[in-house]
Structure 1
Amino acid sequence: MDKSVQSNKDIISTSITITNNKDSDPVDVIAEKFIDLRTVLEGREVHPNVKDYEAIARIVARGMPLPQTIKLLEQCFHEYAEREPEGAIKAFSYCEKYITDHYAKMEAAEKARQLAKRRLPENGKHEHKRSTRKTSTKNDSITGEQVGRIRRRTV
């Protein structure tokens, strides 16, 4: 036995690059990433089941961009490992909830930023425009432009 070999428990983080071909299916790419992350977390090779593939297909069907989905999947595993160092994610449905919730938050934040950009000019200050209405003339005024105490008219 070689004593200088590290075990899988000593692996803290991974950086696996995905070569994304136009022919590769997004479901397969996400499944491969899920397999890699789960294998590192559990320390043994694992494979997704039918329910995992169904959950992955629901994520893809929602139209989430693949790079964003992969990033959120990695983030899900990282946060779970910090919370539960001895635990393991067993099903993709856990990740599906995490990914959809965080993606919805990101979309809402982006919409709010776009709305704020439309409301504020580039310098960040609103420009107050003067009113273009005509000021009332003497004939239009009830008091005849008189201010202060108004006395009775003598006839």
Structure 2
Amino acid sequence: MDNSDKLKLKSKLDKALTLQKEKQKLHLEQLSMSEEDRVIKVVCELVDDKDLYRRCSYKDKALYRGEANEMLVSNRGVFLSRKALVYGLKRYNCTGISVKKIILALSQMELLDEDRGGTHTTKVQNVRAYCILYNELKERYEELRGTEE
């Protein structure tokens, strides 16, 4: 209530409508985005989140165990275990996109450094992990952001 005992309903309604409009705009952007673009966006945001994963450097790769909350960073790319991808997707509340979809899309776009044998993974420190070619991923993400604006 304001000083004259009248409700400030109009300002609250305006805020609620503005918030709803922003949510719908985000939802429409996601719906209109291709599967490949969604994968690039999600993976890039997961990898770039400084608080989501503990980062192990390649020179200290002996510390990397493939746990859900850790990532190995090298000049080849970033290594994430399946557990780490699941963990990131859950923390970001990503619905409609699975680890399988992500891996298949990254593989088709040639953004994974894979061992032979069709596993899409690379072995590092006796841990099977997905080696995402970060520089190429970031380049595609920047192109994607440029087309959104």
TM-score between the two structures when normalised by the length of structure 2: 0.25
TM-score (norm 1): 0.24
**Structure whose CA Rg is larger:** 1
Q: Which has the higher strand share?
A: 2
